[in-house]
Amino acid sequence: MPDTIGSYTPEQVEQYYAVGDWQDAVLWDLVVERAAEHGERVFVTDGDGALTYAELCEQGLRVAAGLRGLGVQRGDRVVVQMPNWREFAVIVVALSRLGAILVPTMPIFRRDEVGYVLAHSGARVVIGPEVFHGFRHIDMYREIADDVDTLEHVVVVRPSDPTALDGAIDFAVLIAPGNLDAIDRGLDSPAAPDDGALVVYTSGTTSRPKGCYHSFNTIHAAAKLLNDRLDVDGSDTLFNPSPVAHSTGLITGLLMPLFVGGSTHFMAEWQPADGLRRIREYGCTMTVTSTTFLTTTMEAFDPASDDIGSMRYWVCAGSPIPGAVVQRAREMFPSCQILSLYGRSENMTTTLCAPEDPPEKSVTSDGRALADSVVRVVGEHGEPLPVGEAGDIAYRGPSHMLGYYRDDEQTALLFTADGLSRSGDLGVMDADGFVRVTGRIKDIIIRGGINISSREVEDLLEELPAVRAVAVVAMPDERLGERSCAFVVPAPGHEAPSLAEVTAFLRGKAIAVQKLPERVEIVEDLPMTPVGKVRKNVLRDRISEILALEAAAE
């Protein structure tokens, strides 16, 4: 056990090992244990196939050997842009066996985002689909490869024609043949549990995302503490329509069930009616999703044919869940507890409304700290604020990242004097320690659980000749939580750009569709502070008022 790890003090390291949040095993070790204990138990299904624990262990080892043959070694970064397919679980296990670092990125991301992640992480390999949702990822990877010097190999999962990959590698080829013991002996030992294991990129206040650098022990703590609070065990089957290439889906849909010997069901393409069918067919018992998944399920639910009686919990994460949604869902699904969770990729889970908490807390708050963790609302200088006063929601605990990958300066800026990590999210705490997220210091729009950096979109729009100035803000949306609205000041001599023109321009920049503004408001100028900063709170209030007036007029 090392004395210091990342930003953790020796006292914290000793504490987290002593209570079992951290331990001396890595993911590969746990998979081997599960395969020995109940190898024939199904671990993951995805509607297209299944893997038992024994198959997960064997295929993970064989793929590890295949990746080693490509030159992947301990500490190398591998970008994985996978839909919710069972192969994702195999890849995660293989990387753990090698001691390589998983860099997941969501399938919705395009050349701009994926190219940045590949370049910043210095990845040697990217693994993804040939085509998903009609988009040819393989063509994007080929284009990116010309600009990223470190990228050596493109691996394609489920290719339509393995003989026509034109230099890319069929994932099936990585599944090395031969005796398993001999394969295992031919590989170096895995990394230590406190070494880097994961870099997950998250949008922030800057135009480029930062990489949250986790060890296996920090993500182990995140999954373990949730399992403990939710009483998850081997009888549970997690329903996972949340992207496994995002921190929520990775922790709750993959690691939580694996740690207790349970099962998980991956759903790659969200269709509410099909989701209801899968819950019933696979006997799912709980899920953690953004609020959008719950609201669209409620819209699609037909009591004459649908049954989610197997579900114990539906936990909503991402943007705060409106109290009215909680109340309606409870009426519709009386046997399923509706709970709320607030987290961030820096520390996964910050607060959770647990099953034993008073039911009204899920209506009025986003939960309280998990075991062995501290959550406070702090002021500008890191000082604790009184109950009910809004401030920055700060965290200290065993699931916090080691730091931002290749960014010591931003890492240092996170912490208060007493070692709590500032989130940049505004919130208030009640007398019982429950936190309600009320806004954001960091300028992020949370659309259906997906974080969108306003500045990233603004920086691109400012390249449009018809735009003199622009501010992108969140506007409320009952289904998705938030959508983005662009307030645009037209450039002199130009016609005011329409929404179609704005989105067409951004599509040409190859950013994710979810980041496109969904409304444009033309204004003569932007409200500014005395020091020249846009007063986005004024713009958010303005668009909320406009939407309310439009709704009243309907």
Q: What CATH number did the domain enclosing 184 receive?
A: 3.40.50.980
177 found inside a domain: yes
74 found inside a domain: yes
User: Over the chain, what is the mean pLDDT?
Assistant: 92
What integer pLDDT is reported at residue 390 of this predicted model?
86
Residues 6+ apart with CB under 8 A from 136: 130
Count structural domains, the chain. 2
Amino acid at the residue 509: K
Please report which residue ranges of 231-377 form alpha helices under DSSP H. 247-248, 256-260, 272-282, 291-300, 323-332, 361-364
CATH of the domain at 547: 3.30.300.30
9 found inside a domain: no
387 found inside a domain: no
Q: How confident is the model at residue 114 (pLDDT cuts 50, 70, 90)?
A: very high
Q: How confident is the model at residue 204 (pLDDT cuts 50, 70, 90)?
A: very low
Which of 131, 165, 191 is the last residue in one of the domains? 191
Give the residue among 80, 54, 55 at the shortest CA–CA distance from 67.
80
Structure tokens, 433: 């320690």
4 found inside a domain: no
The Cα-based distances of 532 to 441, 471, 526 in angstroms read: 17, 13, 10
CA 124 from centre of chain:
22
Edge-to-edge strand ranges of the sheet holding 196-202: 169-170, 153-157, 125-129, 77-80, 101-104, 196-202, 210-215, 403-404
pLDDT at 223 over 50: yes
Structure tokens, 102: 């998983």
Which of 191, 226, 258 is the last residue in one of the domains? 191
Q: Which domain holds residue 102?
A: 27-191
What integer pLDDT is reported at residue 208 of this predicted model?
76
Residues 6+ apart with CB under 8 A from 9: 419
**Helix, strand or coil for residue 419?**
coil
Q: How confident is the model at residue 531 (pLDDT cuts 50, 70, 90)?
A: very low
pTM of the full structure: 0.85
What integer pLDDT is reported at residue 4 of this predicted model?
59
Structure tokens, 154: 């493109």
224 found inside a domain: no
115 found inside a domain: yes
Which of 135, 156, 191 is the last residue in one of the domains? 191
255 found inside a domain: no
* Backbone phi and psi for residue 496, each to the nearest 5 degrees, phi listed first: -60, 130
